[in-house]
Amino acid sequence: MAEKAKEGKKKHVNKPTSKKYSHYASGKSTHKHCPKCGPGVFLAQHKDRQACGKCGYTEFARK
Ligand SMILES: [Zn+2]
């Protein structure tokens, strides 16, 4: 009866989450990184501005 438990273990095929990660790594994200803190620190999205939570840098969105 141990065979039933074995059947439940299936090989992991391509995870759909990996696609999301590649998109993030491609740098096409709408999130801009802080010019002061450099890449890795992204600006928080606000209604009409982007702000860095680390150094306080704020960038206002203009149209
Ligand atoms: Zn910053």
pLDDT 10s per residue in the chain (63 long)?
656 656 667 776 766 665 555 555 544 556 789 999 999 999 999 999 999 999 999 999 877
Residue 50 Cα to ligand 1 midpoint, Å, equals 11
Residue 44 Cα to ligand 1 midpoint, Å, equals 10
Residue 25 maps to a domain: no
When divided into structural domains, the chain yields a total of 1
Residue 39 Cα to ligand 1 midpoint, Å, equals 10
8 A C-beta contact, residue 31 and residue 42: yes
pLDDT at 11: 76
Residue 52 maps to a domain: yes
Domain interval for residue 47: 32-63
pTM: 0.49
pLDDT at 4: 65
59 vs 31: CA distance, rounded Å:
12
Q: Retrieve residue 46's tokens.
A: 């606000």
pLDDT at 36: 96
pLDDT at 9: 72
Q: Which residues surround ligand 1, an ion (CB under 5 A)?
A: 34, 36-37, 52, 54-55, 57
Residue 63 maps to a domain: yes
**DSSP summary character for residue 5:** H
38 vs 34: CA distance, rounded Å:
5
